[in-house]
Structure formats: C-alpha cells, structure tokens
Amino acid sequence: MKSKSIANIFLVVIVSIVLIGATSSYSAQGGRLMVKRVANFGERVSLSLSVDGKEVARLVEGRSYDGYLTPGRHMISATVVPNLVYSPVWQKEINVQSGQTYSFTAIWQGQKMVLAKN
C-alpha cells in the first residue's frame, strides 16, 4: 500500500515536470504580448482585447494581459466595454518573431481609445 502511494507521487512529479517543460518550450518559440491600462483609463469601463478575432482578455481597473503568440502575423484588436463614447475598435497587425516582446498601454486620445506601443 505504501509503495503504491510513493509510485503515485512519483508519477505526478514526473508528469508535472514534463508539462512545465512543454509549456516553457512553447512560450520560447513564440512572442510575448503585454497590454496594460493607463491609470486614468476609467473606473466603470473595461478593455476587451482580442487576438485574431478571439477575445483573450477583458481588463478591468488594475489588470493587465501577458500572453504568448505563435510566430507569424496576428491581428490585435481592442475596444472599450461599455463603449458609451462610440470609440472605434483599435486594430493593429503585428508580425510576431520568436523571443520578441510586444508591449502596449491602453490610453485615451480625445474620445478614441488606442493602444500605444511601449
């Protein structure tokens, strides 16, 4: 009985190490996307962030996004939710290179929300 418990623990440790290694190697093959909100972005609005048409984050006050993208071209989109000022959707195509970081901050330029490159 005791040997089965030790074997199970050993198996869990091995699987964990393999999964951590796979995650690290995947992220090393792509690029990093980081998006944050400027401090005065707004209290009752969130930032909806999409990559290639799929929402990857909805950032509320004090939150940021930090994720990895595969190498190649990706369309980054951001919009305000709720969009009471009818700010247009901000979009930018980026060509992701392995090992590169793409960092943006959501700011207001008049009535328009934009992601400024850091």
CATH number of the domain encompassing residue 49: 2.60.40
Instruction: State the pTM of this model.
Output: 0.74
Give ∠ CA 37-41-47 in degrees, rounded to 5.
60
Is residue 97 in a domain?
yes
Structural domain for 50, as ranges: 31-117
Is residue 112 in a domain?
yes
Is residue 80 in a domain?
yes
Q: Does a cis peptide bond (omega within 30 degrees of 0) precede residue 82? A: yes
Give the residue-averaged pLDDT of 85-94. Answer: 94
For the stretch 32-85, pLDDT in tens is: 999 999 989 988 999 999 999 999 999 999 899 999 999 999 999 999 999 988
The domain tally of the chain equals: 1
| Cβ(91)–Cβ(76) below 8 Å | yes
- The Cα 31–Cα 88 span in angstroms is 27
For the stretch 8-33, pLDDT in tens is: 565 445 544 544 444 444 456 899 99
- The Cα 96–Cα 66 span in angstroms is 15
Strand 101-109 to 31-37 pairing: parallel
- Mean pLDDT check: name the lowest of 11-15, 56-60, 98-102, 107-111: 11-15
pLDDT at 15: 46
Give the residue-averaged pLDDT of 86-92. Answer: 94
